[in-house]
Structure 1
Amino acid sequence: MTRSSKCDPLVEEVELVNCNPQYACVRFPKGKEEIASLRHLAPKEKNISDVYISEPIESILPPQDETQSHSTDPPGGETAPPEQPGEIPENVLQYITDQQRVRTYNLRNREA
């Protein structure tokens, strides 16, 4: 989007509608849709931990005791039930779901 005057904002918040590896269809707050190069898009300013880590790391990976052996067998000689080939652990499923949510993006001015 080209600014019509120098008073127009350099960065404008838009909603990502659809994208491919090179271009994105974005929607402005007033409803106008436009195709923009991904080079002109920037993630919305947030704390980077809010963007990439949706849940505490401790809940994804259980803490390992340093005295525990590094074998994959459960302690006490118990055998773990085999995972089904199509079964996805719950914490991984939640992580994938969080990554697929639509996030707002800022459209950078093309004159920069």
Structure 2
Amino acid sequence: MTAGLPGTGLGGLLYVLLALLMPLRELYLTARGRSSRERWRVVGRQASIALAVVVVLVATAVAARRLLGGGGPLSDTTAPLLAGAGVGLCVLAVLALVLRLWALLDRRAVAAG
């Protein structure tokens, strides 16, 4: 996670991931007849914000590379940005796995109790 860049922390990454997956979920609900225009407006708004976050992060990496005279896309100037996002995604994946396991264990405890 890179300090000072909005959208690269755990909360930001979770939001971007979920907001970009919202249209897929809404397509499923539409196919089942459980969607509406209002729901699609919300999905479109959230997906647009998430896409804007991704575009700004990419633009920041490109600008840093150009302003600081970096070489290729994985130069010394952009590598920390990409590494920060990669570490954040890994931590987010581990956190999601731990929470899923916790939920499964909690269901078993409630059923047994």
TM-score w.r.t. length of structure 2: 0.24
Higher gyration radius (CA): 1
More strand by share: 1
